[in-house]
């Protein structure tokens, strides 16, 4: 099995694009189909055999802690960030609770029920990779207004969109990442994009495609689209 033993679930952000919906509620606790975005992500991890997860918190951290208090699987460790550290800084702060390889998940990115991002990561990870990102074709994205993040070479190496007007694939929010480069970073606020750029230059940043409907649940429109997909209407 190529999957890491532990996952990092990002749950610290303010969710400002949600407007009034996140005025008093952290975005990971918004619900689709009667279940929070955070629980959807954690349930998918459990279904994929991931036994441990680290959840970082900042905004309304007590609400997230209360919501997870009754969960028994996966085994959870919550970290608290006094200030927003972004994806890289948040993962670095949690590094004592992670392994040399970590699965990272953004709970505000949802899949149609039959998608299997963990299976895709498991099947496509190989020696020599520093990161493997699950990618979604732009045509499969719902409630997404961007122009794509990456193109992909035949061997799976990723190519940044850069100054091009569009790219074929969107990063799904699910990946496996080796933490060697992360461990050498200085604590503080930074994005995992810094590490991806280094890996891209080294030829060790790869992608694998999940060709199933994917929803950017970062706005009220995304929440509505996710509800529609969950109910089988989208």
What CATH number was assigned to the domain covering residues 6-230? Answer: 3.90.550.10
Question: Which pLDDT does position 83 carry in this prediction?
Answer: 97
What distance separates the 2 farthest-apart alpha carbons in the chain?
A: 47
Per domain, the residue ranges of the chain are 6-230
Helix axes 117-124, 37-47, angle to 10 degrees: 40
Q: How many CB atoms lie within 10 A of CB 17?
A: 16
Ramachandran class of 59: left when φ > 0, alpha when ψ lies in -120 to 50, beta otherwise: beta
**230/32 Cα distance (integer angstroms):** 7
What percent of the chain has pLDDT above 90? 94
Cis status, amide bond into 207, omega within 30 of 0: no
d(CA 204, CA 222): 32
Per-residue confidence (pLDDT) for residue 234, from 0 to 100: 52
Q: State the pLDDT at residue 96.
A: 98
pLDDT, tens digit (0-9, with 9 covering 90-100), for 144-202: 999 999 999 999 999 999 999 999 999 999 999 999 999 999 999 999 999 999 999 99
1 has pLDDT over 70:
no
Over residues 125-131, mean pLDDT? 97
The reported pTM is 0.96
Residue 67 predicted with pLDDT over 80: yes
């Amino acid at each position: 099995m190529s999957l890491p033993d532990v996952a990092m679930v990002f749950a610290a952000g303010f969710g400002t694009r949600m407007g009034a919906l996140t005025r008093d509620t952290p975005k990971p606790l918004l619900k689709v189909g009667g279940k929070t975005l955070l629980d959807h992500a954690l349930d998918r991890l459990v279904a994929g055999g991931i036994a441990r997860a680290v959840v970082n918190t900042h905004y309304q951290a007590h609400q997230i802690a209360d919501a997870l208090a009754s969960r028994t699987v996966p085994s959870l460790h919550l970290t608290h960030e006094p200030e927003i550290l972004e994806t890289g800084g948040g993962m670095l702060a949690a590094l004592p609770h992670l392994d040399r390889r970590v699965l990272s998940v953004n709970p505000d990115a949802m899949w149609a029920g039959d998608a299997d991002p963990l299976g895709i990561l498991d099947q496509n990870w190989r020696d020599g990779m520093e990161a493997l990102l699950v990618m979604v074709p732009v045509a499969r994205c719902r409630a997404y207004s961007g122009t794509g993040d990456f193109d992909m070479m035949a061997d799976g190496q990723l190519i940044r969109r850069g100054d091009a007007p569009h790219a074929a694939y969107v990063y799904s929010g699910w990946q496996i990442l080796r933490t060697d480069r992360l461990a050498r970073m200085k604590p503080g606020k930074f994005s995992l994009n810094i590490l991806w750029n280094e890996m891209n230059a080294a030829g060790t940043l790869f992608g694998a495609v999940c060709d199933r409907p994917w929803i950017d649940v970062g706005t009220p429109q995304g929440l509505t689209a996710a509800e529609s997909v969950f109910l089988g209407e989208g």
